[in-house]
Structure 1
Amino acid sequence: MALYQQFSNALSASLIDSSKIILALSGGMDSRVLLRLLAIYAKQHPTRQCLAVHIHHGLSDNAERWLADCQRWASEEGITFAAERVQLSLSDRESVEKAARDARYHALGQYVEADDVLLTGQHLDDQAETFLLALKRGSGPKGLSSMAEDMAWGKGRLVRPLLTTSQSAIASFAQQEKLEWVVDESNEDTRFDRNFLRHQVLPILNHRWPSFAHAVHRSARLCAQQETLLHEMLRPELDAMLGALGGLSISALTPLSAVKRDYLLRLWLELLSVALPSERQLQVLWQEVACAQDDANPELKLTSGSIRRFDGQLYWVTHSQDVSGSSQCWDLSSKLPLPDDLGMLRVISATQPATMTLNRSALTAPVTVTFNPEGLSAHPQGRRGSRKMKKLYQEYRIPSWQRRRLPILMANEKVVAVANLFVDKAFYGSDCELIWDK
């Protein structure tokens, strides 16, 4: 069974022993075929944990029936099933397609843990549609790379096992296996750009050039290879431009050509998982934020956050929760998850003093972690005298929006350390080192 072998090979390249497989099960033909392939795989690998997740958008009058169908099919195939109901909140400039896609992937992300693999059913014809949509938007090589067969996604990986398979081959398999599937009536609505391409444009192109979809996939792959090469060449240069708190040096970018500077800015934002700005937004970013007057406090607002300038560096500032009221007890023996996706704190053994090494024997009281510097003072190791935390943050050049998001270790109402910044003189030593994994 050629399609199953392709499916198995795609999984084998991404799975490790601890990986769980999560299938995004819409109930359409493509995901229904994936469900059958996953069932075959699960029987051959009985120790592998597999889960099918259906996202209920509530956009169709048939949504409840689709959920019931997906649950029944998963049960028949012997695959554990889960469903998530989502509500869409549409902005004035956002399409229903994008809102539904974003809500769907956000819901799926809740099931994907470290090293897990998320399966989605995009195929060769979907790739051609994605490429043409990127072309319509005037995208460069990054956008024209379209969809990857295997990519890092959230805490795990996203794998598209059918991406090199035509829809007709998938349909043949579905019919051969006598499968049932959901038919979404909205897929016929050509007011949506993707449906317009699917029903009115691609049939003409495929009739004229039967290998058109394969050629598009090849072009997308070449664009992706070009992007990978540029990343490999420019990532070390970008890393050298970044400060300890993630700020990007404006002075390092200034002498570069506009083409190279814009690419480095895009790469910086991409590594931060930020939706890439348009060409016009990049111009605004450089001219009105990076090159603003020294006494200005410029800001470029984007969908999920904003870009701000401080002390000669550009910073990405996400829309975030106020964590200044948070307080957590910590015994230092295991990793401590921080609120609002601020990462983890951990302590490792140390053999010599360093910036963030502690004297464990000085920690005679329970340690707590807080984020509110108000009213606190500290005496950083290597500096003279004690200072108010507000003053220290100014001296350490901490941007104002980060000053209540830095983890502060406390013991007996005294500051032990501020993660990645300093250890108080009274608690400094060489026993162990404080690490903040962001």
Structure 2
Amino acid sequence: MASSRNSPSEALLRSLRAHVAPGTPVCAGLSGGLDSVVLLHLLATQREAHGFELSALHVHHGLSPNADRWASACEQLCETLRVPLSIERVHVERDSGTGLEAAAREARYGAYARASASVIALAHHLDDQAETVLLQLLRGTGLRGAAGMPEWRALPGTTASLWRPLLSVTRSELESYAKTQGLTWIEDESNASTAFDRNFLRLQVAPLLEGRFPGWKQAISRFSRHAGTSAALLEQAAREEGVDPGSPLAVELLRAQSPEARAHALRTYLEDQGLPMPTEARLAEMTRQLTEAREDARVRIEHGGAALVRHRDTVHVDRGPRGASPWNVPWAGEEEVALGADRGAVRFATATGAGIAERYTHDGTWHFGPRAGGERIRLEAERPTRTLKNLLQETGVPDWERGRLPLLFHGGALVWVPRVGVAAGYRCGAGEPGRVPEWFPGARA
């Protein structure tokens, strides 16, 4: 069958050639609805010719009484197409404060992040894109929000990418393809409820726009591409000014710019850190506090489950809980110890003449724990013990980060502190085998 430039088959092929290299593991998100069924079928028809690995993932939200039936339908489809299927049950927080739709989406994307594939293929189409941009505009979004959903982007917190190859295809074109191919799909009863904003736009507003402005979806899609181009240029300008994804944000950089550029720099930094965009008024208040507070003031701004903190002349993100609650993780000589609860991990390298003397590590009880206050440590044999508080101040560790440091104890003796060092009485001598600890705050063993 000949295919038009806008057909689902042609759209998939164009995007496939642009983004997916042969041999790449691709996992298709499969709800069992029309869009995802068509996407999986299209991918299955191209996997041999293009040479990529294909699997599917069904996220079982447990929100509908028909959820088990949907999972069964996905199993039958994957069996027919000979595509390996994983079904992941997730818990959706009904009282998350962000709404049921947003909570379900967060749970779903969490499942995508755990998938063992380089590419997660999603079936969003032109109608979805138009609805997304309209919703963002109604919420007063900036350029980045007006850009809508990108065809290709990194999946935060992973090495995988999200891929949306059908953004140029309408839902009616997907339905025509499905009927031609004899495909069947399930209907989510919640799609009929106008209690959800997206459904209201789809069921009430979109038909009116279609009757008055044919081609409105394509027009909004063009607008979103222009907005995306402008947003990218602004991001490039922020990078040239010194906003670096891997570094703290310099307060002086904010102070030196116009209010508009200052706001954009902070938005870019928040996005780099994976934090939600604040309202315009909230953003203005953030920049005011960060740039106008006294040099010795402790600035801490709670936002999006984390906090922006100013330490000396830089802005950092603190993701840890306020204050250190008691915890204890034993160490029995392992090369790596996971500390749990987003405290990261400590890894031990072997060395000669450096670190903790190996001969001490086989005796007694070793454990990691937090600061409780009042700890002392002797770093030099000929010098007196020092309070940990003073040492951390001298080392320049921000006060909000000190409670997160994992301290290593041998019995009741403090042996090692990240960024400070090993106690003199436990340190290796020249030529002696040792273990060198290093803390990785974001690591999971």
Q: TM-score, normalised by structure 1?
A: 0.81
Which of 91, 94, 99 is residue 103 of structure 2 equivalent to?
A: 99
Report the CA distance shift for 1:61/1:44 in structure 2 as closer, same or farther (over 3 A).
same
Are 1:143 and 2:142 counterparts? Answer: no
Which of 6, 12, 17 is residue 7 of structure 1 equivalent to?
A: 12
Report the CA distance shift for 1:249/1:324 in structure 2 as closer, same or farther (over 3 A).
farther
Residues 290 and 309 in structure 1, CA contact (< 8 A), matched pair in contact too: no
Single out whichever of 388-397 and 292-301 deviates more from structure 2.
292-301
1:396-435 counterparts in 2 under 5 A? 396-406=395-405, 415=415, 418=418
DSSP-derived class of the 2:57 partner: strand
CA distance in 1, matches of 2:24, 2:346: 24
Are 1:132 and 2:137 counterparts? Answer: no
CA distance in 2, matches of 1:272, 1:330: 34
CA distance in 1, matches of 2:22, 2:397: 42
Residues 145 and 223 in structure 1, CA contact (< 8 A), matched pair in contact too: yes
Q: Which residue of 2 aligns with 1:364?
A: 358
CA distance in 1, matches of 2:217, 2:155: 25
Residues 324 and 405 in structure 1, CA contact (< 8 A), matched pair in contact too: no
Report the CA distance shift for 1:338/1:359 in structure 2 as closer, same or farther (over 3 A).
farther
CA distance in 2, matches of 1:304, 1:322: 18
Residues 119 and 161 in structure 1, CA contact (< 8 A), matched pair in contact too: yes
Shift of 1:90: 3.4
DSSP-derived class of the 1:118 partner: strand
Report the CA distance shift for 1:129/1:399 in structure 2 as closer, same or farther (over 3 A).
same
Are 1:38 and 2:43 counterparts? Answer: yes
Superposed CA offset, 1:360-412 (max 9, x none)? 597535598946356462639xxx87634332112223223322434667899
Shift of 1:273: 0.7
| 2:418 partner letter | V
| 1:400 partner letter | D
Q: Which residue of 1 aligns with 2:258?
A: 257
Shift of 1:265: 0.8
Q: Which residue of 1 aligns with 2:167?
A: 163
Residues 28 and 183 in structure 1, CA contact (< 8 A), matched pair in contact too: yes
CA distance in 2, matches of 1:41, 1:140: 37
Shift of 1:147: 0.4
Gaps of 5+ in 1: 350-356
Shift of 1:175: 0.7
Q: Which residue of 1 aligns with 2:155?
A: 153
Q: Which residue of 2 aligns with 1:121?
A: 123
CA distance in 1, matches of 2:339, 2:227: 38
Q: Which residue of 1 aligns with 2:182?
A: 178
Residues 343 and 436 in structure 1, CA contact (< 8 A), matched pair in contact too: yes
Residues 20 and 117 in structure 1, CA contact (< 8 A), matched pair in contact too: yes
Gaps of 5+ in 2: none
CA distance in 1, matches of 2:385, 2:241: 38
Residues 118 and 158 in structure 1, CA contact (< 8 A), matched pair in contact too: yes
Report the CA distance shift for 1:20/1:409 in structure 2 as closer, same or farther (over 3 A).
farther
| 1:401 partner letter | W
Single out whichever of 224-233 and 155-164 deviates more from structure 2.
224-233
Shift of 1:348: 9.6
CA distance in 2, matches of 1:378, 1:14: 56
Shift of 1:220: 0.9
Are 1:304 and 2:308 counterparts? Answer: no
Which of 226, 232, 235 is residue 231 of structure 1 equivalent to?
A: 235
Q: Which residue of 2 aligns with 1:325?
A: 328
Shift of 1:209: 3.3
Residues 408 and 417 in structure 1, CA contact (< 8 A), matched pair in contact too: yes
Shift of 1:169: 1.4
Which of 26, 41, 44 is residue 21 of structure 1 equivalent to?
A: 26
Report the CA distance shift for 1:109/1:400 in structure 2 as closer, same or farther (over 3 A).
same
| 2:392 partner letter | Y
Q: Whose radius of gyration is greater, 1 or 2? A: 2
Residues 129 and 221 in structure 2, CA contact (< 8 A), matched pair in contact too: yes
Single out whichever of 2-11 and 303-312 deviates more from structure 2.
2-11
Residues 371 and 405 in structure 2, CA contact (< 8 A), matched pair in contact too: no
Q: Percent identity?
A: 30
| 2:234 partner letter | L
Q: Which residue of 2 aligns with 1:205?
A: 209
DSSP-derived class of the 1:158 partner: strand
Q: Which residue of 2 aligns with 1:377?
A: 377
CA distance in 2, matches of 1:20, 1:323: 42
Superposed CA offset, 1:93-120 (max 9, x none)? 422221221122122222256xx11111
Residues 355 and 437 in structure 2, CA contact (< 8 A), matched pair in contact too: no
| 1:418 partner letter | P
Shift of 1:224: 1.2
Are 1:89 and 2:88 counterparts? Answer: no
Residues 338 and 345 in structure 1, CA contact (< 8 A), matched pair in contact too: yes
Superposed CA offset, 1:2-53 (max 9, x none)? 533532443454445774322111111000111212222344467x543212
Single out whichever of 10-19 and 185-194 deviates more from structure 2.
10-19
| 1:38 partner letter | L
DSSP-derived class of the 1:314 partner: strand
CA distance in 2, matches of 1:369, 1:6: 57
Q: How many residues align?
A: 421
